Structure 1
């Protein structure tokens, strides 16, 4: 149930500080390694390094390609959130081509992305990270907590059906737990919803610049809605169940708020375009960015410092630090000013040149293929190691503080919370959930936000279905707008992948891609120590995390560390890249008799 732990006594204070590594971290995609030093006398992690040993090269082999292929290629960055990449690439292309999709095309795309959020958060929360809180895991790591769970009544038992916290934990047991199996069935419905809108999961076949190729009919949206309402009913069980579970951990283990806690440095790039406002013009990007149904923004120490996509874009810096690359400071500048005339930094993705430099791992020097994206806070002159809170925490936090979202009675951002209304379903009455800004940015609150955002995505989908059906009934059934590819152009797309911030930065020269850099959530969260020595979010969240596990060093599972890391919803394919140099030509020679019938 956990990755094999490698143990080695550190030279200093033998018997107290022990080196332990989890490589690879299990129940995620990709090759994430976490290397730590743990002081078992103080019950605390004293040092942490986040590593990835795989290099891929999308920014390299996209050069020279037809820009219209970018979303099909970048979709293959990940087999989990490939559609998020395709969507973000299409947003960047729409800007570069100067094309605005018809409203119906946008509603369809929004419904596809809502289905993706529902699918991915559901399967990760209930079937992957949920295992960290199941009976088997808690019995192995905290027998005392298990004993207390059996005696603790679940406050929302009438909503989710489990009388005690122990009953919830049993229901989360992999493959045998009732709730675990129910969630697997729900993941099938969510994938079906996605395929109705975008043709194929996870690499869309009907998504293009200018709109979608989906044939829009009343039947299409009815089929989606039937599945959506089953999910809505499921959410009325999911949210109170996780509230009870996570609140119990605060009660059972005083001080558990410190697990995975870091400074509140949250980034959200916004999600779900409003076709009545969005025209993909960079010069109006602030306006249509603030009209998104998830508000873009940056939160620093609880303060919302911006909701401007222009500020967000111009503040992105790619620092190298402890990653295996050569600097590109002396390489060419592709974009010196944005369409509004603002200067663009050499370390912005528009100007980045990827120069891989493989070498031996050295924790005092270079130790990972993941770079160090940072956001430059012009108020303070600091390069901030923003994290995404696993995606939902940042999305809800920014949206709540901004107070801009008000979706037809389904969602209301209040300035301090987000209210989510789910209508009456077959077996359950109408419900309103309210996610309130928490005291901490920590492991439990990242996980809690994931449940609330599943309900949020369902509510957005209900709103978008209504809007899409209104378009059809009005006879506006066009889903795609024509365009031409310019000889010279730049574009940027901003979106939220399931795990958080996603941006694609595109430069077109002579009708071909001259530069292209996608920046998903994992490079932000899994980033390494930068040139200023600032650790990345995984590293920062694990360092100083207290150890509550009852096992000693000889049987240590590292469950508190795993909960801290997995709360970010790691997905390493998006963080690392693979490159084969100039490539090799393969020739396959068939025998002349191959395949002949005797």
Structure 2
């Protein structure tokens, strides 16, 4: 017999009115991401959320049988945004499989290229795509009360960035007309040039290979990079305080806004920027050289560091089918039973995955997306954790801060924060920024971390330029090491794509690729409910999020939902693939969201 509280709860649930509202595709990103929700307007919250993607490409299928030396060229085409991240990670996996260690100068060049990519992509996404969600036009349309308050709220850091009020910042973010919006576009050109200096072209590097790079290293090369870098460093001295003012204002103007996009702190970082003094690409030493990365790998659960051991991170990755359109591979071939250290490798590990697509009708009570459900197995609890990357920067900074291992001229991890020192530039003095571990893993803090990581990337790039020049001055100018492709081998590469964790897993047999699986950040973030019913991070962050938008159902734009999804920096090509079948157009709809024409 039901108790009185149970009966009342049931009655309350029965009377709850839910309105279905969908955004498909989400604008200002690459790919076919759909967010399907049920909204409780009476209580101003999202009741249910489903993250979907409707395309399948199958890189893991057609990589089989290919020459392993081509892996980086092929996999860079997974994405037209962060293809160089894939190429770099593939090269890391190739280096391990081939048993080759590149010269130090080559590693510094790769690090400089990746630092430029972080600066470029975070810059353009934060201020030309995410920034639109916080601009004057958007705030006026969704929260006129907030706009009114912004007009009378002074900017605490106006002396640093030049905008007197919060409303001035919002106006400066207006697409194509805003002064700050246009300034960031110009800066993105500089950072793309920086990348091309190091790796030939963006976004598919032409001088990056297993064993090193083909870049001709000269004093002029690094000077040209440094000239552009110092302009970016000066720009960051304005950008960080500007975004702090904007994001802090939202907490002040909308009490409770910290709950928007809030989810349990389950963060993943696979590490970035190898140190050639320590990294030999041998699996047996991976824990040691992983901890020497200039972005420290780590799994953060409930705000605490569970591990920063890359071997543990690797062997506990599990790929679950969840609510996705694939056939199970249990009982099929096991490619790797044990890793090189003798640790057992699960059948659901990427080394053992077999991808067999099974197209079907979307069913939110069953299967509804092409994205699988990557999970990390927590040996302490036996849980399969739905880790997220938070868009990349919040996980990177959080893991690096807790580990406390990075300590170079320009950046230092303290155990509870990351200090970033930017030197004197043409117009501005030396500045120190400190990213402190926040109270929440939510929408605002994901966006704030992206700004701080731009400064972090610039600071680490200064270190890499100095190290590269030191190699040149010492006469160590080699940028490539010879190797032979083994008949049989396995390899894995761990890196941070712009949006977060990236790993490539390769199995070589008879000199050819027998199995290959890349796992970028989007599958970790955009995945559906898994076999245990656990929602994916987008779903979890949107579900139960409160709605502060002032519009009712008839004019609802879903700005709090859009800010939450875009705070993860979605980029669907990495997460899904393409399937072409028979179909027909049922209905054409135009998104009510501002910026529908501006895809990333």
Task: Normalising by structure 2, report the TM-score.
Answer: 0.94
Distance 1:580 1:135, change over 3 A: closer
Are 1:57 and 2:58 counterparts?
Answer: yes
Are 1:564 and 2:574 counterparts?
Answer: no
Corresponding residue for 1:28? 29
Note the C-alpha offset of 1:580: 7.1
Note the C-alpha offset of 1:13: 6.8
Note the C-alpha offset of 1:16: 3.1
Show CA shifts across 1:228-258 (max 9, x none).
Answer: 0000000001100000000000000000000
Note the C-alpha offset of 1:15: 8.9
Show CA shifts across 1:120-153 (max 9, x none).
Answer: 0000000000000000000000000000000000
Corresponding residue for 1:86? 87
**CA-atom RMSD, angstroms?**
1.0
Note the C-alpha offset of 1:330: 1.1
Between the aligned partners of 1:62 and 1:14, the Cα distance in structure 2 is: 53
Corresponding residue for 1:290? 291
Summarize the alignment of residues 126-525 of structure 1 with structure 2, pairs less than 5 Å apart: 126-407=127-408, 409-525=409-525
Between the aligned partners of 2:577 and 2:67, the Cα distance in structure 1 is: 21
Between the aligned partners of 1:258 and 1:357, the Cα distance in structure 2 is: 37
Note the C-alpha offset of 1:17: 1.3
Between the aligned partners of 2:547 and 2:530, the Cα distance in structure 1 is: 27
Corresponding residue for 1:46? 47
Note the C-alpha offset of 1:577: 1.4
Corresponding residue for 1:542? 542
Give ranges in structure 2 of 5+ residues lacking alignment.
Answer: 1-12, 582-600
Between the aligned partners of 1:441 and 1:325, the Cα distance in structure 2 is: 31
Between the aligned partners of 2:61 and 2:549, the Cα distance in structure 1 is: 44
Between the aligned partners of 2:474 and 2:48, the Cα distance in structure 1 is: 61
Between the aligned partners of 2:182 and 2:537, the Cα distance in structure 1 is: 32
Between the aligned partners of 1:538 and 1:209, the Cα distance in structure 2 is: 35
Corresponding residue for 2:4? none
Greater Cα offset, 13-22 or 364-373: 13-22
Between the aligned partners of 2:468 and 2:282, the Cα distance in structure 1 is: 23
Between the aligned partners of 2:569 and 2:366, the Cα distance in structure 1 is: 27
Between the aligned partners of 2:496 and 2:16, the Cα distance in structure 1 is: 45
Corresponding residue for 2:578? 578
Are 1:17 and 2:21 counterparts?
Answer: no
Q: Tell me if structure 1 keeps the 8 A contact 2:136–2:173.
A: yes
Between the aligned partners of 1:68 and 1:184, the Cα distance in structure 2 is: 36
Note the C-alpha offset of 1:386: 0.1
Are 1:97 and 2:106 counterparts?
Answer: no
Note the C-alpha offset of 1:579: 5.4
Give ranges in structure 1 of 5+ residues lacking alignment.
Answer: 1-11, 582-598
Corresponding residue for 1:587? none
Note the C-alpha offset of 1:321: 1.2
Corresponding residue for 2:530? 530
Are 1:555 and 2:591 counterparts?
Answer: no
Q: Tell me if structure 1 keeps the 8 A contact 2:55–2:579.
A: no
Task: Kindly tell me the number of residue pairs found equivalent between the two proteins.
Answer: 569
Note the C-alpha offset of 1:578: 2.5
Between the aligned partners of 1:445 and 1:224, the Cα distance in structure 2 is: 31
Show CA shifts across 1:6-53 (max 9, x none).
Answer: xxxxxx979931000000000000000000000000000000000000
Runs of 4+ in structure 1 displaced over 2 angstroms? Answer: 12-16, 578-581
Task: Normalising by structure 1, report the TM-score.
Answer: 0.94
Q: Tell me if structure 1 keeps the 8 A contact 2:507–2:513.
A: yes
Between the aligned partners of 2:413 and 2:546, the Cα distance in structure 1 is: 34
Between the aligned partners of 1:108 and 1:27, the Cα distance in structure 2 is: 31
Between the aligned partners of 2:207 and 2:322, the Cα distance in structure 1 is: 40
Summarize the alignment of residues 58-73 of structure 1 with structure 2, pairs less than 5 Å apart: 58-73=59-74
* SS of alignment partner, residue 438 of structure 1: coil
Between the aligned partners of 2:534 and 2:192, the Cα distance in structure 1 is: 39
Between the aligned partners of 2:153 and 2:199, the Cα distance in structure 1 is: 45
Corresponding residue for 1:586? none
